[in-house]
Structures are given as structure tokens and as C-alpha cells.
Structure 1
């Protein structure tokens, strides 16, 4: 049994697969098993993975033609695991050589944490560096951030396998069972990682370390690029599900995080019958609730301060509030992108993504 089982799903990813597998082989830490999960590739990916398996006995390859979506494929992989930790890796990303070492060291420092993620260096299809994707590293801020977006980069993650077994964790299903069955979701794709890690976030079991763990390849075939609106629609449902689960766990009144969310750098438009004053009132209620339950901290204060910037939909006011926000807080590119995207869309008068607000 290896200490780490690496789950690598692939479907027609031959263009980058060799680089992805090589980055696992070249890890400084050697006690691992790479489980390649092929989803019916027709471009030679399956055959390439088999060639790697012949050359390195730590690599095994399985083909699951009947798996339902990425959730189903990853769940097939979880059933194959026999390890202390499960690590995720994508067929088009590149792990830095010390990725495993850094994640294991973080688990040793934080024995109560079950999921470790980190930052990612963004690259394009040709491997050119295009920016740094930073994630929240403060635990309280991270727990709050789950209500507004997915604050964990899926292919940077390592998970404690004993917790996966204890909670019967699987992608796409509700495994924390804090809500009645009628309110539970089934997520077969598009945001299966957000659904899984968000549930653990509700339990306070996730942490991002202040380390760059992978090169994250962003190209035209990424799900976020090809099915953007569908992904946003599903993410809204997940955000509301997480908030409802959090409220049920702590026996507090429910709040609606959706108007303050930024999925993929998109600020949601509010429906016409909701006033800006009402939106500000909803934010204050949510802010008070989170501060009361999670306790005051610099990380939480920062997250809520940014969400307060978004509680106005007047373009100039939002821009001015954001400028004042950056005087007190470090600037993060994804936050600026969301504000800039709102201003640009407003000026060009493009159609907005709308969201129905729950009655509170």
C-alpha cells in the first residue's frame, strides 16, 4: 500500500498527458501510486497511460466507459484507493517536484484538517506562464469564502483517506446530511469539486497552504471556458445549499450568499424588485451571522469587507469602494477581475447573469 494514491482522470487528453504523468514520476517523495482513470479516450491517451504503467509499477490504469460524468469517474477511483492520502491531479496540469512533500508536511502541522490545497501558477496551452492563482490561506476566511465561490483549486488537493472512509465521501452527493433529502443536490459534473470541498468547508476541515503546488493549464477546452453559464447556475445552487447546511449545523437563521458571489469573476445581477438598500440589509445580516459563528479574525474581516464592496450595484460606487478596500487590504487579481468585469459589462450594457433572491 502506498502512502499516497493519485487520481488522474483523462478523456482524450493525449496532448498534455505525458507532461502530467512525468510530473508525478519526478516527485521528490516516492511512496505513491498513480491511478489513471480513462473515460473512453479515442486519441491514444489510454494507450499512452498503459505504456507508462509497463515502465513503472507504481502506475496503474483503469478504463471506465460507463462512469456518469467526472463525479462518477472520480468515485470509481476512490473505490480503488488504499492509502493514507488521496491526491488529485489533472491530465493537463504539471505538479512541482516538491508538491507531495509540502502537502504531507501541512497535514503533519494540522492534524485536524482533512483537505490541503494551495496556489497555482497559471499557464496556457503552450506552457507559457500567464499569472498566479492565489487562494485564501486563513482558515476562517476560507470557511466563509466557500459561500461565495470555490476557494480551492481542485487539482492542488490532497485528502485524508480515513476521513473519506468515515464520512462515506463521494463526489456529487450530500454526505454531511445536514439538510432534508428534498433539499440535497446531485452534482454529476461542472462543479463536483465545489460541492465536495464545500461540504468539508462547512465542517471546517479544509486549508490552503501558502505554497504554489502546480502549474494549472488554462485553455479553450477547460469546463469553465466551454460551459460557463451552466457552471454559474449550478454554483448558485451549491452556494445556497452550503449556507443552508451551515445554518442547520449551527441552528441559526438561514442567509442567502448568492448576490455576493463571484463565480469565475462574475458579479451576479439582482432582480429588479430588490432595492440596493435591501441588498445592503441582507449583507449586514449575513455578515453578523458569520462573525458570530466563526468568531472575529483578520481573515474573515477581509473576506467580508470585499463582499461588502459587492453589496452595491451602482457602478461608480462599487469602483470607489473597491479602491478604498485596496488601501487597507492586499490586492488579489480575482477580486479585481470581478469588479472590473462588472464595470465593463455595465458600460457595454451586456446581458447580466441574474439571480432570484430567496425570501429571508
Structure 2
């Protein structure tokens, strides 16, 4: 019989292995009070990146389930990781970010209170900037009309809820989290936003979403803005 964990930490991976050690050590620290699994879903990394990732996992001294994405792109990798998760609660994380020590405790508290989606605040680095989440659904909907209201590595959700809304859509790769959150915001899902700091969010030149085709990403973002605008108008009609 398969083992069931408290949390599944899902990390898509194509590049950025040089940051993996700090990311994995932060996962181990945050999971100290829980039975958590770490799933890294491989999205076509180079042999050099994969070799470095394996070395970083060994250095971190943490058990990792390495799986191969069923399809190309970050959305397919995330969906594959979510499908493989054995826990009822999924933590969305990235290989280049650092989880705060209290993150899983915060999420456990909010999931116990009935949340299906949890969005926490982040501190962007190395140029420090606090990114706070909007407080409440209406504030998040208003922000979604001009920008993504949440930081993707600060999100967590129940496996059932994210699959119920359809998971990640590969058509929106590059803005995949924003598109998912826009569906969640106008769904019946129970959303909790948390002003506490959940993650250190690293910004650098080789981030996946910063290396996507800019025209593709901008067009998809405009589609999301328009869909959110129409949903807002329908809500107030």
C-alpha cells in the first residue's frame, strides 16, 4: 500500500540546479514537524543540469522523488507532479526559491480551517521587496485586472481542489499560475490569503517565465485580463 504523507512539495525543474541546495534545505527545515515528500518533476533538463541536481540532492540529505513530466512545458510538469502527490495538501515550490521555516505550519493551520487554496506573502530577493497578498477574494479579483495577484511559490492547495478546477493549462505556459488563479478566484473554492511570510522569491535572468517568448506571454496575459474583466462585469450585473 502506498504511503500517504501530510504534504507533497511539488517542484518543476528544467534549469537552476545551482540554487537547488538552498531550496531543498529550506524544504527540509519547513517540514520538520510533518511527514512531507518532495517531488521534483523533470521538464527536459540538460544532462549537465540533471547531474548537478542529483549532486545537490545528495548534499541536502533529503529524500526526493524524481519523476519525468508527461508532456513538455512547465504546466505539464506541474500537473504530473500534482498527479503523483500522495498527500492531500500540495505545496507549490520552485528550485530557486527558499521556503520560510514556518510555511508548512501556516498552511496546516489554514487547511485545518477549511482552506482549499492558500496564498502567502513573499520577500523578493536579492533586491529586497516585500510582496504582500491582497486580503480577501474581492481585493484579489481587483488586483487580477492589472497583474497577477499572488506569487506562485507562495501558493498551496488541496490536490482535490486543484484537480477539480482543471489544473494547469499548457496553452498558458509562461503565465500558467496567473491563469490558474484567475479560474480559482471566480470558482466556488475556499481561498485563504495570509500576510505572513511564506517564501523568499528569487529573481534572476534565467527564470523560466523570463525566458519564454515575450509575444506569446503578453498575448496570453491579455487574454487573462480580458477574461477577468468580463467575470467582474458579470459578477456586478
The two structures have a TM-score, normalised by structure 2, of: 0.85
**Equivalence for 1:169:** 166
Alignment of 1:177-196 (within 5 A): 186-187=171-172, 189-196=173-180
Gaps of 5+ in 2: none
Q: Secondary structure at the match of 2:128?
A: strand
One of 133, 152, 155 as aligned partner of 2:153: 155
Q: CA deviation at 1:67?
A: 2.3
Secondary structure (helix, strand or coil) at the match of 1:15 reads helix
Is 1:19 paired with 2:5?
no
Residue 95 (structure 1) aligned with residue 99 (structure 2): yes
- 1:1-360 equivalences in 2 (<5 Å): 1-27=4-30, 28-42=32-46, 44-51=48-55, 52=57, 55-57=61-63, 59-64=64-69, 67-109=71-113, 111=114, 113-124=115-126, 129-165=127-163, 167=164, 169-172=166-169, 186-187=171-172, 189-203=173-187, 205=189, 206-227=191-212, 228=214, 230-245=216-231, 252=234, 290=236
Q: CA deviation digits over 1:217-261, x for unaligned, max 9?
A: 0111224544555433311101212333565xxxx4xxxxxxxxx
Q: 1:80 to 1:231 in 2, by over 3 A?
A: same
Q: After the TM superposition, which of the residue ranges 224-233 and 33-42 deviates more from structure 2?
A: 224-233
Query: C-alpha distance in 2, partners of 1:48/1:106?
Result: 36
Aligned partners of 2:33 and 2:9: how far apart in 1? 13
Task: For residue 48 of structure 1, report the CA deviation from its aligned partner.
Answer: 4.4
RMSD between aligned residues: 2.4
SS state of the match for residue 12, structure 1?
A: coil
Check the 8 A contact 2:24/2:62 in 1, yes or no.
Answer: no
How many residue pairs get matched? 229
Structure 2 SS opposite 1:26: helix
SS in 2 for 1:36: strand
Using the alignment, how far apart are the partners of 2:35 and 2:185 within structure 1? Answer: 28
Paired with 1:192 and 1:155, the residues of 2 have a C-alpha distance of 12
Quick check: which one's strand share is greater?
2
Gaps of at least 5 residues in structure 1 are 174-185, 253-288, 293-360
Q: Matched residue of 2:226: which SS?
A: helix
Gap change, CA 1:163 and 1:103, over 3 Å in 2: same
